[in-house]
Amino acid sequence: MASAEFWYEFASTYSYPAALRVAALADERGVNLLWRPFLLGPIFAAQGWRDSPFNIYPAKGRYMWRDLERTCKAMGVPLKRPEPFPQPSLLAARVALALEGDDRSAFSRRVFAAEFGQGLPIGDRATLGALLAACGVDSAAAFERAESGANRALLKAETARAAEIGVIGAPCLVTQDGEVFWGNDRLEQGLDWAAGARVGDVV
């Protein structure tokens, strides 16, 4: 079965619609989807950015919020801008990484829906605990695994791997043969590629 990695960051606005869309798109194409939470912070820091580029470049930020508004409206999902933006996403990423399989994807979708659909503070343990419970996951055990030294190290390693394979933003779809497709609007193209319809293959 063809597989593809879905790299996402909980603070990333376009990861929200992507996380809600990607599973159905992968299923339609028979692609096994691997959910890969990571942190954009270190990747942005390597480019000299200490904040979201949408804050550093206000014109780009204004464009993004309007564009996201159109995207969410077209999908029929709510959009409520969280304050502050970006939200602290470290704990959510650790928790997601500590979960496996469907628990990870279900929890991740709920985090995005809470953050950008309801404007809830996803840096708060209480918010995340409630989302874990809603997924039927024991939140105390999940937090313990999430904050273990091994899981913290794994998130660092995953983030380093993201940078290494060319993940320059979030979300990204990465195929087994190493192609990177950046953006919510490139999910279909990336999954088509993963499924074998390699229009544009120039190798």
Report the interface residues with a second copy, using CB under 8 A. 47, 57, 59-60, 62-63, 66-67, 69-74, 163, 166, 168, 179-182, 185-186, 199-202
What letter represents residue 30's amino acid?
G
Structure tokens at 60: 């780009």
Nearest distance, CB of residue 44 and a second copy, angstroms:
10
Residues ≥6 apart with Cβ < 8 Å to 126: none
Residues ≥6 apart with Cβ < 8 Å to 105: 23, 33, 35
Q: Which is nearer to a second copy, 11 or 43 (CB)?
A: 43
Nearest distance, CB of residue 47 and a second copy, angstroms:
5
Q: Which is nearer to a second copy, 44 or 107 (CB)?
A: 44
Q: Which is nearer to a second copy, 57 or 153 (CB)?
A: 57
Q: Which is nearer to a second copy, 2 or 163 (CB)?
A: 163
Nearest distance, CB of residue 73 and a second copy, angstroms:
4
Nearest distance, CB of residue 27 and a second copy, angstroms:
23
Find the DSSP H helices in the chain: 15-28, 40-46, 53-56, 58-75, 90-98, 101-112, 125-134, 139-146, 149-164, 187-195
Q: Is 16 exposed, middle or buried (0-12, 13-18, 19+ CB in 10 A)?
A: buried
Q: Which is nearer to a second copy, 51 or 69 (CB)?
A: 69
Asked if 99 and 143 count as a contact pair (C-beta separation under 8 A), the reply is no
Nearest distance, CB of residue 33 and a second copy, angstroms:
21
